[in-house]
Every structure is written in C-alpha cells, then in structure tokens.
Amino acid sequence: MSQTLLFLPDISGFTKFVQSTELSHSQHIIAELLELLIKSNNMDLVLAEVEGDALFFYKEGPLPTKEELEAQIEAMMVAFYSQLRLLQKNRICPCQACISAPELDLKIIAHAGEVQFMTVQDKPKPFGPEVIQAHRLMKNSVDSDRYVLLSQALATQIGLQEGPQNQDRVFVSGRDSYDEVEVEYQYHVVRQETLDLIPHAPPTRVDLDTAPTFSIKRSFPVTAPELLEFITDYSRRPQWTDGLQGLEYNKDEVTRLGTPHTCIINDKHLNFTTVTKDGAPGQLVYGELTSSAAPIDQLYLFYLIDSDGDSACSLEFQAYMQGSALWKKGLIFLMSSMFKKNMGQGLDLLLEAVQNAPSSDASAS
C-alpha cells in the first residue's frame, strides 16, 4: 500500500480567542484565516475536514520531496502571518476579537503512512492508525505555539535530517509518549521575522484641509463601540438607508480599512472603500469614500463617535462633497441641502433601528 501524506495546519490560541472575545467577529476572523490557508494549498492537497481551528489535508503517494513540502509550509505560514499583519494595520473595530487577532499563531503537523479510506456522504475520509497518529502529534511537548512538526517516519522518507536546513530553519529532534508508545519527530520553531510577508497597501488615511460640506449630530442610547458595530455591519444598512435596492460586500469579512462595498441606489452602483482620518482622543472614526457618485468627484462620509458614559454616545456625521470643475461645485452646492436632508432621515432611521434591536444584537461585535 502506498504512503499517504497527512498534513494539518492548526491555529494556536483558538480556544482562548473564541472564549474571551466577541463571537461574531472571532468567527469571521477564524474563517478568513482558514480560507487563506486553503487557498495557499499549492501541492494539490485534498481537504478531508475542517476541524474547528484546524484543517485536515491528505495526499496519496508518491510523497512530496523535502523541498516541495517546505515550500508548501512556507506558503501557508506567509499567508497566515501576512493576514494577521493586515488585520492589525487596517483595524477600525475596537472589539477584543479584532484587537487580539494578531496574537494568534499557526503550527503545522505532517505525517505519512499507510492509510485506509472510508466513504462518508460520498466523500473519502482517511482512516486508520496513521490518522490517529497524526492527530496525536498535535498534542506534543514543543514549547511554542508557532512551529512545524514532522513525524520521524515522514522526515526519514523525505530525507530531512536534524539540524540546520538553512539559516532560518533548524530542526530539532523530539519525542512524546502516547498510550505508552513513544513517537519521535522533528520540529522547528518558526520565527515570524524570517518570513517574507506579503506587502499590503497602506491603509487609506485621509487628511482633509477643508471643512465638511455639512455635518449632522445625533445621540444614541448605546455605547460607542456598539454604534460603530451597527454602522460597519453592512447587513444592517437596509434598516437605515432609504432607497437601497441592493448591497454587495464580503459577508465573511470584518470591516476594516480598505474594505469595499457597493450600494445600489436608484439603479446606480456606488462603490465605496473604507477610509479613516484623525479624530479627537478616544473618538471612534469610520469613513467611506466613493468616486462613483457623479457629478461629485469624491464623496467622503465620516462617522465620528464619542462616548457619553456607560451606555450612550454621540455621533457627528460629516460629508465632504468634492468637485474640481466650477460647474460641479455649483451642482454640489445645489445638491448639498437635499443630501443633508436625506442623511438626516437616514440617521433617524439608524437611531430607530438601534433602539429596536435586541440587546444581544446591539452589543454584538
């Protein structure tokens, strides 16, 4: 029987992250990370199962070369930690899930052996002692949350020796006992600074040197973070955006700087990107920019939220309607009063939606 590679990327810190943070955002963040790991599969691995915080891949023989396996591991490590850096740099949400996401880590376990398969819902699933062995190796004595571990059986077959593989990768021998059976492995602790992380465009921070075209103020009976969550949760937009015919956005992504969404209003597609600007100390700032609201060249919408105690906050909405040509500036002047009226009505609907939301929804982040 040919050898089968068993490959398990596992997110470290998952249990603490989910138990101690806001559920909705922690779910989105973990889902994003798992999706990235799946997309980083460059070796035609077959996904057998999503196991909560881990992915269980396999690949029937022949086994990959040492170089192929190292390249696959590198691709997943780079994708994972690049995403964590993006979440950290572009975060706008103050919830604990979004703040603590960069503290997550990744470990990868790999093993090989003769594997049987069983069919569950017309899908083959690896089965047998070697599958059990691979999962046991996830519970080891390695003193780190960021590492790569290869069973000695796999390491031997691909020619991986203990010691330096290159200047950044040094494998060390380890062993643990499972049900009184000693299992040997090779592992190396990954240093994040050695990874060639994917560069991301810097977050869009706007420095506007003019006063807003208009502003509107409202008070809300929820905390500032709760109101920010309500505004940035695009699934709620129909509750307070009059004339909204459709909304296009990534439902599995937490809103952050650079996040796009499209509002369809009066048969027009308005493409927005999340931006920010400097606010007062302690102030929460969320902004959107569109260049598709003709005749306006650039339309900035900012929501500045200040805390007013334990269960209340104040909102200042600011609109910047910019046009380069003189005729556009004239039209903007004529349009601004109607736009202000419509936005005022929208904020009234927002207040009504917040007041009518179940307490668990209003406080979810």
What's the rounded Cα separation, in Å, for the pair 100 and 87? 10
**What is the 3-class SS of 272-339, one letter each residue?**
EEEEEECCCCCCEEEEEEECCCCCCCEEEEEEEEEECCCCCEEEEEEEEEECCCHHHHHHHHHHHHHH
Residue 24's pLDDT band (boundaries 50, 70, 90)?
A: confident
Look at the domain 3-194 and name its fold. Alpha-Beta Plaits (3.30.70)
pLDDT per residue as tens digits for the range 135-186:
999 999 999 999 999 999 999 999 998 766 666 678 999 999 988 889 999 9
Please give the residue that has the higher pLDDT: either 271 or 93. 271
Locate CATH 3.30.70.1230 in the chain: 3-194
Q: Show the CA angle centred on residue 98, arms to residues 94 and 100, nearest 5°.
A: 110
Angle at 179 between CA 176 and CA 184, to 5 degrees: 25
* Distances in whole angstroms, Cα of residue 343 to Cα of each of 17, 26, 248, 277: 38, 32, 21, 20
Q: From CA 29, how far away is CA 89, in angstroms rounded?
A: 14
The CATH superfamily of 205-362 is START domain (3.30.530.20)
Whole-number pLDDT of residue 149 = 97
Question: Rounded to an integer, what distance in angstroms lies between the CA atom of residue 238 and that of residue 44?
Answer: 41
Reading the block at residue 19, the tokens are 């138990």
Of residues 168 and 27, more confidence is placed in: 27
The type of residue at 9 is: P
Stretch(es) of the chain classified as CATH 3.30.530.20:
205-362
Residue 91 has pLDDT above 70, yes or no: yes
This prediction's pTM: 0.85
Can you state the percent helix, strand and coil of the chain, rounding each to 5? 35, 35, 30
